[in-house]
Structure 1
Amino acid sequence: MKTIKKPVQSEINIKKSQFICSLYPTRTKKESKEIIQKLNQQYSDATHNCTAYIVGDGEGFDDDGEPGGTAGKPMINVLRKNELHNVTAIVTRYFGGIKLGAGGLVRAYSKSVMEAIGEAEIVEIEEYNVYEIVFEYSDIKVVDSEVRNNGLESIGKDYSDKVIYEVISRNNQDIEKIFEKYSGKISVEFKNKQFLEKI
């Protein structure tokens, strides 16, 4: 699966209209909506802020006042064609006084997203199960040793009244099985799924 590594922006001008495409890596609809809201505020003086997103929990698009099917749909089609996931595209348009017609709008919004993708750093991502390992401070050495010896990857650590590691297995080992022998001392539970860059 492919996504973009970091936010990118590109700009094109067509018949005096300015099209600014902002691409953001996003994982959920909630993240997408937050980004869209932020950009709507940033470009509140724009004629249109059209959007498209494909994320883990769904996809969507919006023409934001452009004739139906001339903005959001062509934008999401470009994301699909490039097999991009976990991405949100916002095309901001400042109208330059010359109407482009339906076909012209479809081409303009498509081109705007394609230009931004051309400037983006594309990375391969994979979905992993994230597990939470909870244990006492006295077991840090044991857990560190198991994490290292089994090729697990720690993606988060929290030291409060107990120690909590968030780990993934890039080769999809059964993490719960690894820590079975410590039952009662070290607890392991599935937390969520995450898309992480393939290495």
Structure 2
Amino acid sequence: MKTIKNAIQSEINVKKSQFICSLVPTETKAESKAVIQKFREQYSDATHNCTAYIVSDGEGFDDDGEPGGTAGKPMINVLRKNELHNVTAIVTRYFGGIKLGAGGLVRAYSKSVMEAVGEAEILEIEEYDVYKLIFEYSNIRIVDSEVRNNNLEVINKEYSDKVSYDIVSKDGRDILKIFEKYSGKINTGFKNKQFLENK
């Protein structure tokens, strides 16, 4: 699976209309909708802000006033063709006075997203189970030793009243079983699934 590393923006002009495509990494529908709202506010003077997104909990698109099927659908088709996930595309159009027709709009919105995808840094990602370990500071040495010995990856560490590690096993092993012998010392629980870069 693929995604983009960072947000990127590109611009094309078609018969005096300006098309600005913004690609933003997003993981959920809620995150996509928040990003879309932000861009609609930022470009509130634009003629249209058309959108498409593919994220972990679904996908969607919106023509934002353009004739049905001429903007959002071509945009999401470009994302699908490039096998991109966890990404939101917003194409902002400033009308230049010359109508493009349905075919011209499809080509313009498709090209706008294709140009941005071509400029983006693409990452290969995979979905993994991520577990959260919560333990006392006195058990850091035990946990770190098991992490090293079992070739696990810690993707996040937090230090407050207790220590918290987010751990992923990239070979599919059940992390709960690795730490079950420390029951009482280490609180182990399934956290969620995350898309991580496949290095």
- Partner of 1:189 in structure 2? 189
Q: Distance in 2 between matches of 1:80 and 1:192?
A: 25
- Superposed CA deviations along residues 20-52 of structure 1, whole A, max 9, x for unmatched, are 000011100011011101111111110000000
Q: Distance in 1 between matches of 2:169 and 2:86?
A: 21
- Partner of 1:49 in structure 2? 49
Amino acid at match of 2:54: I
- Partner of 2:105 in structure 1? 105
Displacement of 1:116 = 0.4
Amino acid at match of 2:31: E
Q: Distance in 1 between matches of 2:194 and 2:160?
A: 24
- Partner of 1:114 in structure 2? 114
Stretches of structure 2 that go unaligned for 5 or more consecutive residues are none
- Superposed CA deviations along residues 121-140 of structure 1, whole A, max 9, x for unmatched, are 11100011110111111111
- Partner of 1:2 in structure 2? 2
Q: Which runs of 4+ in 1 moved over 2 A?
A: none
- Partner of 1:150 in structure 2? 150
Secondary structure, counterpart of 1:96 in structure 2? coil
Q: Distance in 1 between matches of 2:107 and 2:192?
A: 39
Identity score, percent? 80
- Partner of 2:63 in structure 1? 63
- Partner of 1:170 in structure 2? 170
Stretches of structure 1 that go unaligned for 5 or more consecutive residues are none
Secondary structure, counterpart of 2:83 in structure 1? coil
Q: Distance in 2 between matches of 1:4 and 1:164?
A: 28
Displacement of 1:181 = 1.2
Root-mean-square deviation (CA), in Å? 0.7
- Partner of 2:81 in structure 1? 81
Q: Distance in 1 between matches of 2:133 and 2:14?
A: 54
TM-score in terms of structure 1 length:
0.98
**Number of residue equivalences:** 199
Q: Distance in 2 between matches of 1:16 and 1:35?
A: 27
Displacement of 1:184 = 1.6
